Amino acid sequence: MSTNKGNTSANKAAIAKPVYDITPFTLLDFPDKTACILWFAGCNMRCVYCYNPDIVRGKGNLLLSDVLRFIHSRKNLLDGVVLSGGECTLHREIFWLSHKIKSLNMSVKIDTNGSRPGILKTLIKEKLVDYIALDFKALPGSFEAITHSQLFATFEETLKLLLGEGVPFEVRTTVHSGLMSKAHISAMVQFLESRGYYGHYYLQHFVGDSDTLEKLPASSKNKLSGNYSTEKIDVVWRN
């Protein structure tokens, strides 16, 4: 199996046009805030169910000057900006951009696969992020097959970091019945609980209405439905 450790030239932070696209408005992606989403190009994982092939392969369309101009135009209309991807933490420019966003009195949310704990630690220390969504791809036994990467250890390091820093965050998982079973999901809940996580754990059922990095069979939510909540973790389906 081919793997990607985040060192290929296509995933370097210095992409000439680092942002693939902008979603100008969302009420769903930043809790309790109106926001826009910046889709950063490039990723150090190749999740088989990923529905953004062009984004993860680093096909950027927008300069940071384009992005900043758009954000300025929404200064008094939006509460925050979501930095997503791809994997936005591959881009060291997010420090500069987050500072610009915060200077406009707007909040910053980061969507991440957890592969860059050092970047997140600095963002938190410098108060450049207000909320983090951490993708929990899978447990070690199937992590490499699903993500085509060997980055579980850094995900685990990121989870430990967020549990100790006090910044608001959530954990979420995209589930596909061809890749996971009920037992696997239950084991993921147990893993989080054993690491000291509590609160909401969000499940997002894969919806196959666009091309993905690998051809997958249809996924059945019925095969995965059930109550996975524990005394400490409330498992919530988002779709």
Domains and CATH numbers, the chain: 9-237 (3.20.20.70)
pLDDT reported for residue 15: 57
Residue 209: phi, psi to the nearest 5? -110, 15
Q: Is the pLDDT at 108 greater than 60, yes or no?
A: yes
Between the two ends of the chain, the Cα-to-Cα distance in Å is 31
Q: Which residue has the tokens 């965050």?
A: 169
Distance CA 94, CA 90 (A): 9
pLDDT digits (tens, 9 = 90+) for 131-146: 999 999 999 999 999 9
Rounded CA gap, 177 and 175, in Å?
7
Residue whose tokens read 């990723």: 43
Q: What whole-number distance in Å separates Cα of residue 10 and Cα of residue 87?
A: 12
Torsion sign over Cα 38, 129, 45, 16: positive
Distance between CA atoms of 158 and 77, rounded to whole angstroms? 32
To the nearest whole percent, how much of the chain has pLDDT over 90?
A: 88
Mean pLDDT to the nearest integer, 12-25: 81
**What residue type is assigned to position 234 of the chain?**
D
Q: What is the mean pLDDT of residues 178-198?
A: 98
Read off the pLDDT of residues 34-45 as tens digits, 9 standing for 90 and up. 999 999 999 999
Mean pLDDT across the stretch 61-88?
97
